[in-house]
Amino acid sequence: MMNLVIVESPTKAGTIEKYLGSSYKVIASMGHLRDLPKSTLGVDIENDFAPKYIVIKGKGDLVKQLKNEAKNADKVFIATDPDREGEAIAWHIAALLGISPDKKCRVSFNEITKSAVTAAIKSPRAIDLQLVDSQQARRILDRILGYKLSPLLWKKVRKGLSAGRVQSVTTRLLVDREREILNFEPEEYWNLSALLYETKPEKSIEARFLGKNGKKQSLHSKADVDKVLSELAGAEYTITDVKLATKKKNPAPPFTTSTMQQEASRKLNFTSKRTMTAAQTLYEGVNIPGKGAIGLITYMRTDSLHVAENAKTQFRAYIGEKYGQEYLPETPRSYKSGKNAQDAHEAIRPTTTLEPEAIRSALSNDQYRLYKLIWSRFMASQMASAVYDTMTADVSANSYVFKINASKLHFPGYTKVYVEGTDTEEEKDLKELPKLTVGQKLNLKELVYEQHFTEPPPRYTEASLIKEMEELGIGRPSTYAPTISTILARMYAEREKKTLLPTELGMIVTDLMLEHFNDIVDVEFTANMEERLDEIETGDGARVQILREFYEPFASELSTAEEKIDKIKLKDEETDVVCEVCGRNMVIKVGRYGKFLACPGFPECRNTMAITVDTGVACPKCNARILEKTSKKGKKYYGCEKAPTCDFVLWYPPTDKKCPKCGSVMIRRGKRVLCSNPECKGE
């Protein structure tokens, strides 16, 4: 007896085959086998938006192999990912193999562990056609938008552009934020604090200015500060109120796709794409010495905070044994998911209690760092609350009131394992709370004041943009990372350190969309459409009706836009770099792999050059400058300005330091400074 199991990836196939044994053959489909054709729309709009699927180019031999294997198998199980995309892939595979979707051939599991896989194989189900319908509606809608709008953008703006249901509204978020920053008018304000002490000035406590006669007061100018200072001259500082309390701080919930991407951005400096790549490999399975292939985390595309009861039991036992019973809450913690979450899924968690350090040698650096983050976050989510002793005190001085706030960690609880990252600075805890009593007089060390100006909202980082997308209901867990990648690839935005800055092109395309296709870049419309597409999954929405209601007004807008939009001429940014062929000043152009310098005399002069940045470091071979360059495929590297005469090149940023062991240039890799010589391990 031979059974066939079909999954998406070879790694996943290898892991599962080891669990199922010799009577099972596991083959990877390498993702989708069928899709809409690239050369045409592939959707019959007149015939209820019927899709015209074809076998993807290059997959023909694989389809033949699967058909032969299925013909010779006693049973066929389709074990693609446990989401709507995985369900659609399963449906396509079943169609190609002639398997009825009603047949119980579909198996799904939230984690790739022996127990989960064998349990799923014992309980196959029919393909969920509502889930497939939802995926198809999204695919058709996105295809219509892409294939109808993109040619318009090519014709009116520039070739290579695109528009999309999630992509366009996300670009608008970046553009709107940038314009909010540009139009922001700062307002002046001042902070005032009194540094007070009992007996030793070096042990002063900060008391922040609150107001006068029990009312809060803002200081908007130096004149306001001077008035308060003059009225505080010679004042006595007396404690008028002291409150001691205990405050509990609960752990953050386990990760969803969104929060994992946000935290990996904050703590690991990972892009969302890098995070998902590492997470995929952790989910599909890693070979652990002595244990074989293990899927180390649950499925990484989820918006659910649900945790299986057996996982809670397993990890509570581990926490109690490792940290002590006092680190366990009385009952297992549960977390409430968002309104659109699919609670059939689980939150992202480790599948075993294997500690990151214990398996570090089996993991790549990215895998280890992300696994440690997921492991620590989940462990903390099931631990007891942290407990803080807090004190607030009011200090009175000539009718003015200052406030002292202090806290001290009493019991670490979950913070022993993990503390959630933030985008703002938090107050530090004191080692000891000051001992203050009502009526106590304090001495003034000094009054400290500082001018500030209100700041505009910050530019989005990948983390904050994903958070905003999730809160607004734009896209779903599987779309956050690819959406940001597309926006950057289309040059609608670019990275500036960790922030995302919309380009002139991004602003022009957004304005065009706002004027002629307002719904597509409207946040509320996009979120409502997402919810309607979700309704197809639950049987509360009809695919054809939703597509028709969208398409009819869109087709009308498209026809009007074709007539009204004039060709938009993008201005090239001139530089001070002189063309070595004809002497004109080079301009910045944008190509498939990013920006480059080109002669404005095209087509008479076809000279182009890479954009370079001086690193300020001298080449160790010829003493010329080392420049930051970009390869034809958009990858940054660091090479001598005299290339190709001098062949010195690095793939990491150079520093002006020399290796103490061998004298080579030191490079910067993340937070570490290492020797650039691969044979030397100096740092």
For 581-594, b/e burial (b = at least 16 CB within 10 A) is: eeeeebbebbeeeb
Q: Which two tokens stand for residue 209?
A: 């200015």
Instruction: Name residue 351's amino acid.
Output: T
Q: Provide the angle, in degrees to the nearest 10, between the axes of the packed helices 272-284 and 365-381.
A: 80
Distance CA 219, CA 227 (A): 10
Residue 449: strand pairing partners: 192
Q: Which two tokens stand for residue 346?
A: 């689980």
Contact 22, 95 (CB under 8 A): no
| Cα distances (angstroms) measured from residue 235 to each of 74, 144, 496, 661 | 92, 73, 50, 62
User: How many other β-carbons are positioned within 10 Å of the β-carbon of residue 429?
Assistant: 14
Of the chain, the end-to-end C-alpha distance in Å amounts to 58
What number of residues does the chain have?
683
Contact 62, 29 (CB under 8 A): yes
Contact 283, 481 (CB under 8 A): no
Contact 617, 626 (CB under 8 A): yes
Check 299, 388, 480, 551 and give the catalytic one.
299
CA angle 1, 121, 138 (to 5 degrees): 125
Q: Which residues contact 635 (CB under 8 A, 6 or more apart)?
A: none
User: How many other β-carbons are positioned within 10 Å of the β-carbon of residue 171?
Assistant: 28
**Checking phi first, is residue 22 left (phi over 0); if not, alpha (psi -120 to 50) or beta?**
alpha
Strands 3-7 and 75-78: parallel
What's 439's DSSP letter?
Answer: T
Which residue has 């940038």 as its token pair? 178
Distance CA 101, CA 91 (A): 7
Residue 50: strand pairing partners: 44
Q: What is the CA radius of gyration of the chain?
A: 30
Q: Is 639 helix (H, G, I), strand (E, B) or coil?
A: strand
Q: Is 360 helix (H, G, I), strand (E, B) or coil?
A: helix
What is the dihedral angle through the alpha carbons of 31, 37, 38, 39, rounded to the nearest 10 degrees?
160
Neighbouring C-alpha atoms within 13 Å toward the C-beta of 629? 19
Distance CA 95, CA 193 (A): 72
CA angle 74, 80, 82 (to 5 degrees): 130
- Percent of the chain as helix, strand, coil, to the nearest 5: 35, 25, 40
CA 3 to chain centre: 39
Contact 269, 668 (CB under 8 A): no
Q: Which two tokens stand for residue 419?
A: 């503390």
For 527-560, b/e burial (b = at least 16 CB within 10 A) is: bebbebbbbbbeeebebeebbeebbeebeeebee
Residue 657: its H or E element: strand 654-658
- HEC profile of 187-229: CEEEEEEEEEECCCHHHCEEEEEEEECCEECCCCCHHHHHHHH
Instruction: Name residue 290's amino acid.
Output: G
Contact 232, 397 (CB under 8 A): yes
551 given a catalytic annotation: no
- Active-site amino acid positions: 299
